[in-house]
Amino acid sequence: MIVTAAYSDDGDLVRLVGEDAAAISDLGPGDDAVLLYDTGVGQQVRGGSGADTFLLCSMKDLSVTLTLGSFSGRDAVADVVIIEAAVFADIPTGMFRRIDIFEFDRDTDRIIIHAPRALIGARRAAIELQGVRVGDVFVRIYRHDRLGTERRSFDPEEGVVYVPAGER
C-alpha cells in the first residue's frame, strides 16, 4: 500500500521521518519548508507551486525523489534544496545513494550541497546521469523549461552551490 499525504494551500512546516512518513508527500501551494530525516524506501516529496525549501538531513535508504514544482507548469518562484553532510555518511561499501531532483529551473532554483571538504574537492560532473557525483552520492537533476521536465544536455553544476561541512 502506498500512503499519500497532502498538506494545506498555505505555507507549511513539515517534518518527515523515516518509515513513518508517507511514501508520497505533496506539499501543495504555499511557501513550504520540509525537513527530511532518514528517508525511507521510495520516498517522494512534491513541493508544489510556492517557494519551497527542502532540507535533506539524513537518508536511511539509498534513494529519494524530490519534485520542486507541481508538474502543471513552470514554478516561477525560487526553490532551494539543501543536502546536509549526514547524507554522505554511512553508505554501505560498494553502494551509492541517489537523489533525483525533478522540475529544477536553472534560472530560479538552487541546490546547496553541504558535504565534507574532501568530497567536494573530488566531485565530478556525472554527465551520463545529468547531475553531479559527490563521494558515493549521485544527485540527478531533471531540468524544467518551456517544454516541461526533460533530461537533456546542460551544465549540471549550474545552480549548484557547494559548502564544506562545518562552514556556513
**pLDDT on residue 142:** 82
Mean local confidence (pLDDT), 18-44: 78
Inter-residue contact 37 to 17 (CB < 8 Å): yes
Q: For the chain, what percent of residues have pLDDT higher than 70?
A: 74
Q: Is 118 left (phi over 0), alpha (psi -120 to 50) or beta?
A: alpha
pLDDT value at residue 31: 86
CA separation for the pair 119, 134 (Å, rounded): 6
Q: What is the pLDDT of residue 1?
A: 34
Query: Is it the case that residue 168 has pLDDT exceeding 80?
Result: no
**Predicted pLDDT of residue 93:** 92
Query: Is 104's pLDDT higher than 80?
Result: yes
Check pLDDT > 90 for residue 153. no
Q: Is the pLDDT of residue 8 over 80?
A: no
Residue with cell 532551494: 80
